[in-house]
Chains A and B, each alone.
Chain A
Amino acid sequence: DQQVKQNSPSLSVQEGRISILNCDYTNSMFDYFLWYKKYPAEGPTFLISISSIKDKNEDGRFTVFLNKSAKHLSLHIVPSQPGDSAVYFCAASAQGGSEKLVFGKGTKLTVNP
């Protein structure tokens, strides 16, 4: 049973517009959430995280929103750039740290010039 779900396998946006990537989870014990960016044949790169005590975390063009009641988080990229084109993975852990991350299947973002 998938505990972390990214229901959109792909997303295409125009350069300069907002990209919104979504993630849903089922385990109410998850208390730490992360987004990773991955290029083909490379390891994932950490982008941004959020603890369950917050509902928003911002880092430059990247903002993560957490809705605990809906068990939903989203990553906003504004403005989107062609270099943002990659696969984005949502991940979650249940012990307040980087212990035993559970990953979604990823969303492939394409930013068109």
Chain B
Amino acid sequence: DGGITQSPKYLFRKEGQNVTLSCEQNLNHDAMYWYRQDPGQGLRLIYYSQIVNDFQKGDIAEGYSVSREKKESFPLTVTSAQKNPTAFYLCAVGDPWSNQPQHFGDGTRLSIL
């Protein structure tokens, strides 16, 4: 979606390293979300944030961390504690207090070397 930038598109990580995925938006949405997609699977929620300086765990938060210091930015860190980090990571934005859909960035594919 225009206005949601995920970088980089492809990312490689060595075993035992932390890596941070970037998500920036200029759509002025209050809420931001991180999802993970594995082959043949739907999207699973990792973390979400409805307001600056606040965030909540999703269904699969173990091994991940986030921060929300600015409305425009919601970086996701994949830590060495995440046992199976290879996946396609998607960032989304939305307004949780209205009947409006979430809109997604183009994703980052993370692979383990």
Contact = CB atoms under 8 A, between A and B. Distances in A.
Interface of A: 4, 6, 9, 32, 34, 36, 41-46, 49, 51, 89, 91, 95-101, 103-106
Interface of B: 1, 4, 6, 31, 33, 35, 40-45, 48, 58, 88, 90, 92, 94-107, 109
A96 B99 contact: yes
Contact of B42 (A51, A97, A99, A106): A106
A18 B61 CA distance: 40
A44 B1 CA distance: 9
A105 B42 contact: yes
11 contacts: A9-B40, A42-B107, A43-B90, A43-B106, A96-B99, A97-B98, A97-B100, A98-B100, A99-B31, A100-B45, A101-B102
Given A4-B42, A43-B4, A103-B44, 10 more contacts: A9-B40, A41-B106, A43-B105, A43-B106, A43-B107, A89-B43, A97-B97, A98-B31, A98-B94, A101-B102
A99 B1 CA distance: 19
Contacts of A106: 42
A104 B42 contact: yes
A19 B42 CA distance: 20
A19 to B, nearest CB: 19
A100 B45 CA distance: 7
